[in-house]
């Protein structure tokens, strides 16, 4: 069978599996819909958390970033993995002990304020929509190539599948669907990586192959080869960084604290029976995440070498376009790769200077990698299924955050407290349906490439939720006025900075125009610091939280019978 036939079979079977699980695990109560009734096993929750957290940015775009950026791309590896450790150790057990459904629920009760809850709702919705735009873009990229449809139709197909199992199953359906999606995505990521590692270096493990000698060039190591190719083509050395230290620090910190403030990841720790299980599931998730994250640099390196040598030819003079391998023509149809014959010699050439005739979208590197390496058609189709699984798993989690923020936090706990559970479940599903449509539009018209859009979401989460959560757990005197002022100032500053450089004046998006040399991807760290300063200053001017709130915070941090969970 050809690639498209294999794609229809493998992606179709995976969709059937997801929809079947959604029907089996459909939600009948709001507890099912919001937190799967708190009955998920830690290992299953660890897989679901890993799938929820490893989005299209991790599967599709991160290795592409590293492939194009080299050393500088490592900032995404450090930030995202470090952030998950921060979340697992510092936040997850305490939030689970608090026993609330959502982050706005925690903030509303901890800061004894409907205003704080409402601000948190809007922050959650804003962050989630920014994040989900990247996921739907990822779905569109996958389908546009492997189903040979326009990106807009790829996004619409993805919308339909997510709508079905997120709206029908809620958190219960999403959790078990994400377990299946993790299995699909990790298998899809590792199989071609192992294939290519063996072909290029003779090593089974890509992590070892990344630092090994090349079979075709004994004595030449992969990274040395990449450095030589990069410098010969006008790029900086692959293993050298070009970003400023301050920008790397701020981007890494934004990704770290943004991870710890992402509402769709935090809510996963409310789905297990006990506080102890929250810790266990966090550990399992870290293990499952590490499998992909330690493989990504190798995938990036393999793809970079193969892409350059395929385009530029074995002699380095350029491959005649009429002899171009099929993957170039296939991806040209999507508009994500293009060739312009500047010198009229009929040869393709890829470089960083005036010799360059190729435009290659970095989001295609993982998906095109098996094709570039001439792997079997079923492996190529498997990667497509993995990319879709990664994008859909995170999209579902984000849409659930949006729907629960609207139905539970905004309506039930604020504007319409008299509604019944049945009505609340209806509004949750209605909000999810509307959210899917908005997410689809953002997927067709995203504000950047996948990982960049996701980095913006992390910055927004860092500048809004993280300080409020940290202060809410570890500083019992923090009052509602400080928390509200901090969240509003942090997310407003961060959003304004990103919007200015990405939409209002994109031409100014260079290091000489950035504040203190900090890029829009890293500005969330400065927004977080602003949030902390404003919150603490306002708290000092307006007095401490009431005694009963301080006692409640004390009981969460130093609980009696820590193995017991507060069940709702």
- How far apart, in whole angstroms, are the C-alpha atoms of residue 273 and residue 39? 5
Most confident of 43-47, 318-322, 329-333, 499-503: 318-322
- Our CA dihedral for 137, 489, 117, 477, rounded to 10 degrees, sits at 130
- How far apart, in whole angstroms, are the C-alpha atoms of residue 386 and residue 90? 31
- Would you say residue 274 has pLDDT above 90? no
Q: How high is the pLDDT of residue 153?
A: 81
- Our CA dihedral for 257, 260, 262, 263, rounded to 10 degrees, sits at -140
Average of per-residue pLDDT across 105-126: 84
Is there a contact between 259 and 83 (Cβ–Cβ < 8 Å)?
Answer: yes
- Would you say residue 331 has pLDDT above 70? yes
Q: How high is the pLDDT of residue 566?
A: 43
Average of per-residue pLDDT across 19-28: 69
Instruction: Give me the percent of the chain exceeding a pLDDT of 90.
Output: 18
For residue 131, report the phi and psi dihedrals to the nearest 5 degrees.
Answer: -70, -45
Alpha carbon distances (Å) from 42 to 178, 275, 494, 563: 14, 11, 35, 14
Buried b (16+ CB within 10 A) or exposed e, 212-251: bbbeeeeeeebbebbbebbeebebbbbeebebeeebbebb
Average of per-residue pLDDT across 203-224: 91
- How far apart, in whole angstroms, are the C-alpha atoms of residue 213 and residue 171? 46
Mean pLDDT, rounded, of the chain: 81
The better pLDDT of the pair 91, 194 is held by 194
Coil vs helix vs strand at 359:
strand
Average of per-residue pLDDT across 22-47: 64
Lowest mean pLDDT among 178-187, 207-216, 446-455: 446-455
- How far apart, in whole angstroms, are the C-alpha atoms of residue 109 and residue 391? 32
As given in the structure block, the two tokens for residue 284 are 């399992």
pLDDT digits (tens, 9 = 90+) for 377-433: 888 888 888 887 777 777 777 777 777 778 777 787 777 878 887 787 788 778 878
- pLDDT band for position 531 (50/70/90)? very high
Lowest mean pLDDT among 26-30, 74-78, 339-343: 26-30
> N- to C-terminal Cα distance for the chain?
52
Please state the pTM of the whole predicted model. 0.79
- Would you say residue 15 has pLDDT above 50? yes
pLDDT digits (tens, 9 = 90+) for 144-176: 777 777 778 878 887 777 777 666 655 666 777
Q: How high is the pLDDT of residue 561?
A: 47
Q: Among candidates 243, 257, 249, 244, which has minimal Cα distance to 460?
A: 257
pLDDT digits (tens, 9 = 90+) for 222-250: 999 999 988 888 888 888 877 888 989 99
Q: How high is the pLDDT of residue 452?
A: 60
Q: Among candidates 316, 360, 354, 355, which has minimal Cα distance to 67?
A: 360
The better pLDDT of the pair 191, 91 is held by 191
Is there a contact between 391 and 142 (Cβ–Cβ < 8 Å)?
Answer: yes
Give the 3-state DSSP-derived string for 48-66, with helices as H, strands as E and coil as C: HHHHHHCCHHHHHHHHHHH
Lowest mean pLDDT among 25-34, 61-70, 177-186, 297-306: 25-34
As given in the structure block, the two tokens for residue 62 are 């991160």
Q: Among candidates 127, 106, 126, which has minimal Cα distance to 117?
A: 106
Q: How high is the pLDDT of residue 197?
A: 94
Q: How high is the pLDDT of residue 26?
A: 62
List the domain boundaries for the chain: 3-303+375-557
Q: How high is the pLDDT of residue 79?
A: 83
Q: How high is the pLDDT of residue 44?
A: 83
Q: How high is the pLDDT of residue 250?
A: 92
- pLDDT band for position 562 (50/70/90)? very low
- How far apart, in whole angstroms, are the C-alpha atoms of residue 389 and residue 467? 32
The better pLDDT of the pair 169, 282 is held by 282
Question: Among the residues of 70-150, which ranges form H helices?
Answer: 74-86, 92-98, 103-110, 114-146
Q: According to CATH, what is the number of the domain 3-303+375-557?
A: 1.20.1730.10
- pLDDT band for position 485 (50/70/90)? very high
Q: Among candidates 77, 442, 515, which has minimal Cα distance to 289?
A: 77
Lowest mean pLDDT among 163-172, 267-276, 344-353: 163-172
The better pLDDT of the pair 127, 467 is held by 467
Coil vs helix vs strand at 415:
helix
Q: Among candidates 145, 136, 496, 57, which has minimal Cα distance to 330?
A: 145
The better pLDDT of the pair 424, 358 is held by 358
Sign of the four-CA dihedral 239, 240, 245, 247: negative
- Would you say residue 36 has pLDDT above 70? no
Buried b (16+ CB within 10 A) or exposed e, 497-516: bbeebbeeeeeeeeeeebee
- pLDDT band for position 567 (50/70/90)? very low
Q: How high is the pLDDT of residue 461?
A: 84
- How far apart, in whole angstroms, are the C-alpha atoms of residue 463 and residue 457? 10
Lowest mean pLDDT among 260-269, 355-364, 481-490, 514-523: 260-269
Instruction: Give me the percent of the chain exceeding a pLDDT of 70.
Output: 89
């Amino acid at each position: 069978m050809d690639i498209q036939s294999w794609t229809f079979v493998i992606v179709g079977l995976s969709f059937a599996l997801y929809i079947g699980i959604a029907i089996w695990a459909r939600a009948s109560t709001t507890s099912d819909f919001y937190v799967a009734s708190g009955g998920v096993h830690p290992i299953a929750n660890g897989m679901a958390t890993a799938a929820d957290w490893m989005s299209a940015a991790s599967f599709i775009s991160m290795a592409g970033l590293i492939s194009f950026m080299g050393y500088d791309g490592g900032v995404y590896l450090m930030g995202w993995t470090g952030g998950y450790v921060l979340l697992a150790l510092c936040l997850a057990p305490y939030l689970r002990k608090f026993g609330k459904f959502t982050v706005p629920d925690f903030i509303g009760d901890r800061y004894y304020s409907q205003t704080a809850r409402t601000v948190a709702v809007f922050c959650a919705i804003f962050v989630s929509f920014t994040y989900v735009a990247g996921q739907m873009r990822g779905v569109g990229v996958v389908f546009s190539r492997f189903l040979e449809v326009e990106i807009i139709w790829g996004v619409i197909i993805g919308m339909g599948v997510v709508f079905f199992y997120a709206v029908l199953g809620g958190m219960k359906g999403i959790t078990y669907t994400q377990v299946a999606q993790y299995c699909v995505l990790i298998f899809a990521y590792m199989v071609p990586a192992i294939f290519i590692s063996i072909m290029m270096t003779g090593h089974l493990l890509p992590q070892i192959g990344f630092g090994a000698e090349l079979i075709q060039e004994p004595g030449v190591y992969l990274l040395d080869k990449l450095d030589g190719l990069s410098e010969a083509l006008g790029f900086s050395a692959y293993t050298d960084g070009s970003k400023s230290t301050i920008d790397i620090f701020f981007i890494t910190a934004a990704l770290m604290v943004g991870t710890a403030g992402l509402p769709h990841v935090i809510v996963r720790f409310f789905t297990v029976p006990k506080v102890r299980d929250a810790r266990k599931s966090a550990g399992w998730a870290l293990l499952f995440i590490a499998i992909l994250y330690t493989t990504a640099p190798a995938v990036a390196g393999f793809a970079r070498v193969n892409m350059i040598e395929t385009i530029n030819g074995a002699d380095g003079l350029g491959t005649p376009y009429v002899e171009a391998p099929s993957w170039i023509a296939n991806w040209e149809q999507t508009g994500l790769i293009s060739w312009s014959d500047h010198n009229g010699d009929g040869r393709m050439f890829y470089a960083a200077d005036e010799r360059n005739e190729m435009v290659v979208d970095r989001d295609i590197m993982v998906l095109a990698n098996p094709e570039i390496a001439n792997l079997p058609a079923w492996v190529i189709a498997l990667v497509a299924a993995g990319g879709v699984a990664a994008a859909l798993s995170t999209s579902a989690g984000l849409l659930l955050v949006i729907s629960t923020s609207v139905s539970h936090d905004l309506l039930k706990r604020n504007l319409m407290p008299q509604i019944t559970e049945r009505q609340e479940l209806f509004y949750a599903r209605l909000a999810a349906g509307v959210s899917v449509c908005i997410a689809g539009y953002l997927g067709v018209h995203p504000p950047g490439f996948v990982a960049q859009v996701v980095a913006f979401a992390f910055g927004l989460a860092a500048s809004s939720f993280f300080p409020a959560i940290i202060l809410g757990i570890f500083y019992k005197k923090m009052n509602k006025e400080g928390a509200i002022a901090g969240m509003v100032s942090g997310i407003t500053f961060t959003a304004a900075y990103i919007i200015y450089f990405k939409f209002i004046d994109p031409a100014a998006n260079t290091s000489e125009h950035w504040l203190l040399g900090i890029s829009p991807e890293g500005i969330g760290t400065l927004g977080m610091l602003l949030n902390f300063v404003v919150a603490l200053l306002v708290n000092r001017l307006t007095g401490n939280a009431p005694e009963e709130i301080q006692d409640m915070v004390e009981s969460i941090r130093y609980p009696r019978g820590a193995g017991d969970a507060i069940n709702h």
